[in-house]
Structures are given as C-alpha cells and as structure tokens.
Chain A
C-alpha cells in the first residue's frame, strides 16, 4: 500500500513538473549508442527515433511493472573510438543498466571488451556475425546474421537451377561481410562465382563493372550494398539491357530503393527482406503481422516517414530488454539472464529464441524472399 502511494506521488510530481525528472531509484536507465550522423546514419537515425518512441510509449502506459524508463542516447558518428568512450561514459557516469547499440559491426566489436569488463549487457544493432559468434556472456544482437540473408538468396537460386554467380559488392563493412559470406556459402552449396566485382559507396556509375559482367554471362548477379549504390546499379543494368536475374541484399529492403531506382528499372529485382517491408502481404494468421503494423503506423505518426528494418533492430533490442525486466528483474545481471532465457518472443526482425550458445536467436525465417512488382514488394513462394 505504502509503495503504491509513493509511486503515485512520484507520478503526480512528474506530471506536475514539465522538465524531465529522474529518480535515482525510480527509473531504469537504458543507454543508446547509435551512429545518428556520419556514413552509417541510415542505421543510427531510425534506431534512435525508435528507441525514443518506445520509451515514451512505455512511460505513457506507466512504465514496466510500474517503474519508468529513461533513455540516455549518444551519437557515435559511426566512429569506433568514440563508441568506446561513450560506452564508458554510459556505464560510469550515467550508470545505465543495459546498452542498446552500437549501429555498426566495427563499433560493436570495439565496445565488447568494455561491457564484458564492466558487466553490463549490450544488445547490438549491427549484423556482423563476429559479434555473437562465438557467444559472449554479456553481448547479444538483434539483426539476423548476414549469412542468413545470403543463404536465403542461394537457397532460392538452387530452386531456380541457377549455377553461376557474378558478385558486385560495395567496399564498406557491409559489402565486405556479405562478399565473404556469399563466397563461403556458395562454395559449400556448389555454386561457381564467375565474377567478383566491387564498387565504392559513393560511386555514381557502375556500367564498367556491369559491362564486364555482361561479357561473362552469369546465371545471376548478386549485389550487396546499401543505398544509393544498388539503385544506381539497377538503373545501369536497365541501360545496358542486361536480362540476367538480379538479386539484392536485405540492405535495400525499403521503399526508398524502389523510389530511387525507379519502379520500371527495379521491376523483377529479388531480395531477402525483413518482414517489416512486406507485412501487408502476410496472411492474417502470421504472429508478427499485428506488431509490424503497429510499429509502422506509430513510427509514421511520430516522424512522418516509413519505419525501416534498421529501426526494427532497436525495437527488437528494446522488446528483449523490457521482456527480461518484466520476467526477471532490472539489475544488469537480471536483464542479461532474462534476455538469454528469451523463448519465442515475437518481434520485428523475427521470432527470438535465445540460449547460452545463441545470442542472436534468429533463423532463416527472419527473411522472406520478395520480388519488386509494379513498384511494390511481392512475396516469392
């Protein structure tokens, strides 16, 4: 009874004071490390916005088990050194119980030693397989591994009896990791890579690489990159009149890609997409359908733009954490073991089932193969 009164008083004083008030004992602090500006801002910005949205929503509903949340978010600008400094600051000065982020694989790898030493759980929003393979005690991540997306494409190609592949990957971390995974899985599955071309993240014309590929005549082209490169490539392919099937990575699974490349040029492009981009075409029985729709609409309402798969990574992280707090408790160790015990948690990127050996918890079902049809995504069966 007494406790409830105290909580009620706290709530009242919060509503009375317009300035945000933090109660050392009354809030759970969640740290956020996102590349809000800089080259990886397409990841960090939706992640930050999503976390802010979720914290606000949760607090409006009265917090978790009656305890309010507080998000402390820093911009790492995609710089690993800065990420390490800011992680230390989150732990030592802000005394957060858990950290969401960083946005990129490089930063996440740099921050891991810090959180392992300070014993603070980290839920990374980066896709690199190294982050959770091998599993580290305090480190989790929400995006599915790159190799899951690569495997999805290659499985689909097997079903279409396509044997020779031309790779065209971007020369940044995302492209390099995709190239590595594609080559490894392709050789396992008996594909032949006949061309292995790259392009720079800021390149504006890839006709040279594509002309070379056109001369080799592969069964399929796989392009691995994030906008705007893949959109330029899609236009170049149309210009050169190449009819070879084109596969893209999950990195362009947003409407922005179709808009940039133009619906006509993008027609027929296939890619593994996170479920957020295609929830409209799901059957009603799909367990994720409702959640995806809610997130997309809430995000649109708050920020006026479509929610992206990348923001979804922060959503997953938040859901894993709040689920752990609800079930186990709010100390760093309790959050950690709570996340590790997650089973069949329905979220944005997929359905998470963690174990001490698997700190990612997603499988091939995290992606759906889609094809661009008339300026929209259509599920491939």
Chain B
C-alpha cells in the first residue's frame, strides 16, 4: 500500500512537473536572448488554453484544428508584444523591461477577462478519460500526452539551439550580445525569435494541461510563477537543467502534499526558490558564475 501511494505521488508530480518545465524553458529562452525575465510568460500559457476554447466553441473547429490555430494566435500575440512593447523602448535597462513585461501581463489578463469573462472553462481531453493503471498507481491518457509532448518539444528545442544557424546565433546572443552583433548577427531579430519560440511553447503548455486543470483568464499567474521556479532551479538554462528543475519541483510538491501536509504545498515551491537563490544562484546544476564569463 505504502509503495502504491509513493508511486502515485511521483507520477502525479512528474506530470505537473513536466508542465512547469515547459513554462520554465520559455522563461529561460527569453532570458538568454535578452537578459530579461518575461513575467508575461504565464499569460501565453493562459492564452493557449483560452484560445483553444474559443476556436472550439465559437468557430466550431474540431480539436485537432483548434490547437494549431490557438498556438498560431498566441505566437502572433507574443510577436506583437515584442514589437509593440519591448522593441520601441529607448533605454532598455533590465528593470524597465521587467516592469514592461509585468504591465504587459496585467494588460493581457485584463483583456482576456473582458473578452471571455471570469468563468472557468473545460476543454475535452485529447483521447478519452479512462484511467490507466501503472503499477499500483493510475494516470490519465492526458498525462501521457503531457509527458510525450514535453519530451518532443525539449528535443526539438535542443536540435534548434545546437544544429541550426539561427539557434546557434541565438546562443551567441546569450553569451555576448555585443560580440554577436559585431560578427553580423541581427540581435534584435533574435530577440523577436526568442519571444516567438517562448510564446509558442507557453501556449502549448497551456493547451495540454487545460483538459486536466481547466482554464480561466487568471490561470497564468500561478503557472507562470511555478515555471519561473523551475527555471531558477535549472539556473536559467534553456535545456535539460530547467526540465529537471521542473520535474523536481513537481515531485517535491506532490510528495510534500502527500507525506507532510497539503497546507504547505505551495510553500514548498517558494522555499526551494528562496534556498536556490540564496545558496546556488547559478542554479542547481550550473557552474559558478565566474567560469561562465
């Protein structure tokens, strides 16, 4: 019995952790390309879910068509956000940019509230709701979708950053913007790219969790914060470290709720965040700052 419970905690933790990881990578991609933390990342997660719902309900599209449309529209809004709010800034100091992203997130949330109201909505699962038994624990088909899609996106991400010209250019911007500009990389275009990629990833995360967790205009806040935690644990790397960070966070939350007390579930995430920031600001797996320079 005890083992069954433990397995269930770990499996539940893994599936929520995969989502945190996906959102966390969105944070770190933008951070690496621009040096800012995009606090509007959570809103793209919300947009993914809400737009899917819009295409399903209002345009009567089937689920397989509604999802690409939703991803396309949220990616376009990520692009617009960069063009209208980030690029025109005369003095792009990090603090200005961060404040702009916070403002942007409030704006997006407000507009969605006016557009879609304050109700919570459900999205149908991708393939049925019959629980699947794994050992003594159970998961839903949707959990497999979540894990599978997350793995796929992370693999695609890895490929992009290490095996394509524009991915390599973006990494160059992350190391040194000035030097990247000097060798002929259009840094501003790379910044736009980073917003496109991370808003697309955020919206995918929002879509694949929506059948389990439901969606509303304000789901982005908490998911965004948890994704941010994952990115911090992973030291803002846009690869495996953030994924592991997300999974660790998910499992710890679920073990904490199961074995200690459910009242401390969210506290656990934020205690980890603070500990990491105090003790290992370079992330759990990162090398010390001096070596990176």
A171 pairs with B214, CB closer than 8 A = no
Interface size on A, residues (CB 8 A): 36
Q: Complex formed: what's the CA distance from A199 to B222 in Å?
A: 14
Q: How far is the CB of B255 from chain A (nearest CB, A)?
A: 8
Residue of B nearest to A235 (CB): B212
Q: B8 at the A/B interface (Cβ < 8 Å)? A: yes
* B residues near A171, Cβ cutoff 8 Å: 263
Report whether B258 and A256 are in contact in the complex, using a CB–CB cutoff of 8 Å: no
A211 touching B5, Cβ below 8 Å: yes
**Across-interface contacts of A264 in B (CB, < 8 A):** 129
Q: Collect the chain B residues with CB atoms within 8 Å of residue A172's CB.
A: none
Of the candidates B118, B121, B222, B255, the one whose C-beta lies within 8 Å of that of A202 is B222
Q: Please determine whether B129 and A260 come into contact, CB atoms closer than 8 angstroms.
A: no
Residues of B within 8 A of A232 (CB): 212-214
Cross-chain contact of B213 among A41, A205, A212, A227 (Cβ < 8 A): A205
Per-residue A-contact encoding for B207-241, CB less than 8 Å = 1, 0 else? 00100111010110111000000000000000000
Within 8 A of A (CB), among B2-25: 2, 5, 8-9, 12-13, 15-16
A228's partner among B8, B120, B131, B253 (CB-CB below 8 A) is B120
Contact of A208 among B9, B209, B214, B266 (CB under 8 A): B9
Contact between chains at B214 and A260 (CB < 8 Å): yes
Q: Are B139 and A259 in contact (CB-based, < 8 A)?
A: no
In the assembled complex, the CB of A1 is this many whole angstroms from the nearest CB of chain B, namely 51
A11 within 8 A of B: no
Check if B291 is an interface residue, CB within 8 A of chain A.
no
Known: A171-B263, A228-B214. A205 touches B129 (CB 8 A): no
Main SS at interface, chain A: helix
Residue in contact with B131 in the complex, picked from A45, A209, A240, A260, CB distance below 8 Å: A240
- Shortest beta-carbon distance, B43 to chain A, in Å? 15
Q: Does A134 sit at the interface, judged by CB under 8 A? A: no
A235 to B131, CA, bound (A): 10
Q: Are B219 and A202 in contact, CB atoms less than 8 angstroms apart?
A: yes
Question: How many chain B residues have a CB neighbour from A under 8 Å?
Answer: 39
Decide: B139 and A239 in contact? CB cutoff 8 A: yes
| Contact of A203 with B by CB under 8 A | yes
Shortest distance between the CB of B267 and any CB in chain A (Å): 10
Enumerate chain A residues within 8 angstroms of B9, measured Cβ to Cβ: 208, 211
A200 at the interface (CB under 8 A from B): yes
> Does A283 reach chain B (CB closer than 8 Å)?
no
In the complex, the answer to whether A241 meets B138 with C-beta atoms within 8 Å is yes
Confirm or deny: A300 has a beta carbon within 8 angstroms of a beta carbon on chain B: no
Q: Is the CB of B8 within 8 A of A211?
A: yes
Q: A217 vs B120: C-alpha distance in the bound complex, in angstroms?
A: 31
Additional A-B contact list (11), CB under 8 Å, known A200-B265, A215-B5: A202-B221, A205-B254, A207-B254, A208-B255, A208-B265, A211-B8, A231-B122, A256-B119, A260-B121, A260-B214, A262-B122
The 30 listed contacts between A and B (C-beta, < 8 Å) are: A41-B118, A171-B263, A197-B262, A198-B263, A200-B266, A202-B221, A202-B222, A204-B16, A204-B209, A204-B219, A205-B15, A205-B16, A207-B8, A208-B8, A208-B9, A208-B253, A208-B254, A208-B255, A211-B8, A211-B258, A212-B258, A215-B1, A231-B120, A235-B212, A238-B129, A240-B8, A241-B138, A256-B120, A260-B122, A264-B129
Chain A interfacial positions (CB closer than 8 Å to B):
37, 41-42, 45, 171, 197-200, 202-205, 207-209, 211-212, 214-215, 227-228, 231-232, 235, 238-241, 256, 259-262, 264-265
